[in-house]
Amino acid sequence: MRQFIHAFLLVLAAALPTAAHAQAPAAPTKKFEIKNDRTYLGGQEFKIWGIRGGNALMSPAVTERFVRNFDNMAAHGINGFIVTVMGTNTGWPEEWAARNGFEADGRLKPAFAQRLEWLIREADKRGMVVGVTIFTPRNVANMQGEESFKRALQETGRFLKDRGLRNVFVDIMHEYNHRRVVPDIFKEPGGPEKKARLHAWFKEANADVPAGVCPTIDRGTEPFFPGSDFNIIQKTMPIPAKGFTINVESHKRDNYDTDGVYDEKGLAENYSWFETYKKTPNAAIFLHAAFITGVTGRDGSAPHAEMGGYGKSAEDAGVRWYYEWVRDNVGRWEYPKHVPVKAKS
């Protein structure tokens, strides 16, 4: 009898790690699509105005802060949000502190998967799209080679598919060919073939989710490759003439040790980029700010899910200027469209 109980417990323990994938079926979210160089959510054409929250999955409390701010984002017209399963640059005082949502062998950690699903579903309730970044330059060095990358891609793809999480797109590798990248599959030369291989691995697990690979600016690698579903760019890379392009990371103009503080030049550059993307129907942009992405930061409270102040000084740190620009120049977000608001008096 004792042996039987022991064996039963062993079988139970072996089954537990797969529990994250074996949850009860869930209602599918609205489907995100890119067709004819335009974006659609739930079959409705729409324009994305996004925010990049690279470390939003790092802990339950941080994810909760972002989720609790989705209503305010939507009220200001922001209808897109990017998270990173592998975590990203945590900025200052420690830039290598990102929490990795994958085990070294590529298994998706159940706790990260749960937070990812929660965030995606809460975004869906507001008619928002979520960009899911899989790999980032620093933490890929802590993985166990190509088999682990394939497993990470396919576990994430299957998780999104099995859980009906469809209001998403995927950036397979953020900053391909970054100088920090160690594994060969994320580096030139041979980038187009390697990117196509990564893309095919993901698509084997989930054919419906649009996926691409973000190049590192000025590193001799392209925003498209054979089979890519759309172009991904970052910072000030030019928008390719053909296809739909998502700039997943605007050029941040605050710094990690003075996060949320901007000079006039930095703000003017941002407004200029927003105008460019506003008049470009086949492109979308996600705001990147040290204020939103960094961990700890100058005042110890980053990453900031909140919009904060106008960024004029340390006492006014924030990205409220972006929220209000989108609200005043595009409109508040009421799925499936932006609703213009009266100009500020």
Partner 1 sequence: MKRTVRIAATCASLFVPLLLQAADAPTLTSAKELKWTDVAEPAGAKQAVLWGDSKSGDNGVVIRWKFNSKAPDLVRTQDVHIVVLAGTFTVEIDGGYREFGPGGFVSIPKGVKHTLGCEAAGECRLVVHHPGAVEVAKAK
Residue (99 or 197) nearer to partner 1, CB: 99
Alpha helices in 279-333 (DSSP H): 290-293, 320-329
| Paired residues of 84 in beta bridges | 133
Candidates 87-95, 225-233, 242-250, 274-282 — which segment interacts with partner 1 by CB under 8 A? 87-95
Binding residues for partner 1, total number by CB under 8 A: 12
Q: How far is CA 165 from CA 70, 117, 179, in A?
A: 17, 7, 33
Q: What is the rounded CA–CA span in Å between residue 168 and residue 85?
A: 13
> 140 by DSSP, 3-state: which?
helix
Stretch that binds partner 1, among 89-97, 127-135, 200-208, 268-276 (CB under 8 A): 89-97
Candidates 87, 91, 127, 260: give the one binding partner 1 (CB under 8 A): 91
217 binds partner 1 (CB under 8 A): no
Cβ at position 290, least distance to partner 1 in Å: 8
189 cis-preceded (ω within 30 degrees of 0): yes
* Contacting range for partner 1; rule: CB under 8 A; set: 84-92, 122-130, 307-315, 319-327: 84-92
Q: Which residues contact 229 (CB under 8 A, 6 or more apart)?
A: 34, 169, 210, 211, 212
In the complex with partner 1, the residue whose CB is nearer, 69 or 296, is 296
Taking the complex as a whole, the smallest distance from the CB of residue 94 to partner 1 amounts, in Å, to: 5
Q: How far is the CB of 282 from partner 1 (least distance, A)?
A: 31
C-alpha closest to that of 55 among 127, 150, 138: 138
Cα angle for residues 214, 247, 270 (degrees, 5° grid): 135
H or E element in which residue 118 lies: helix 110-125
Looking at the Cβ atoms of 158 and 251, the one nearer to partner 1 is 251
Q: Kindly state the helix (H) or strand (E) to which residue 191 belongs, with its residue range.
A: helix 191-205
Give the whole-angstrom CA distance, residue 169 versus residue 83. 11
Q: How far apart are CA 210 and CA 39, in angstroms?
A: 11
Nearer to partner 1, 137 or 191 (CB): 137
Please give the full DSSP string across 144-166, using - where no structure is assigned: -SHHHHHHHHHHHHHHHHHTT--
180/8 Cα distance (integer angstroms)? 47
Rule CB under 8 A: choose which of 95, 103, 324, 334 binds partner 1.
Answer: 95
Nearer to partner 1, 8 or 96 (CB): 96
Q: Which residues contact 52 (CB under 8 A, 6 or more apart)?
A: 81, 82, 131, 248, 249, 250, 286, 287, 288, 289, 292, 293
Check residue 303 for interaction with partner 1 (CB under 8 A).
Answer: no
Per rule CB under 8 A, is residue 291 in the interface with partner 1?
no
Q: In angstroms, give the least distance from the CB of 235 to partner 1.
A: 13
| Cβ distance to partner 1 smaller for residue 222 or 259 | 259
Please name every residue paired with 338 in a beta bridge, in sequence order, or none if there are none.
Answer: 333
Q: Segment 118-157, which members bind partner 1 (CB under 8 A)?
A: none
Compute the least distance from the CB of residue 93 to partner 1, in Å. Answer: 4
Nearer to partner 1, 157 or 297 (CB): 297
**Going residue by residue from 247 to 286, which x/- string records binding to partner 1, judged by CB under 8 A?**
--------xxxx----------------------------
Give 258 or 276: the residue with its C-beta nearer to partner 1: 258
Q: Does 94 bind partner 1 (CB under 8 A)?
A: yes
Report 150-209 residues binding partner 1 (CB under 8 A).
Answer: none
Report the nearest approach of partner 1 to the CB of residue 150 (Å).
28
Figure out which of the listed residues 42, 93, 243, 331 binds partner 1, where binding follows CB under 8 A.
93
Write out the residues near partner 1 by the rule CB under 8 A. Answer: 89, 91-97, 255-258
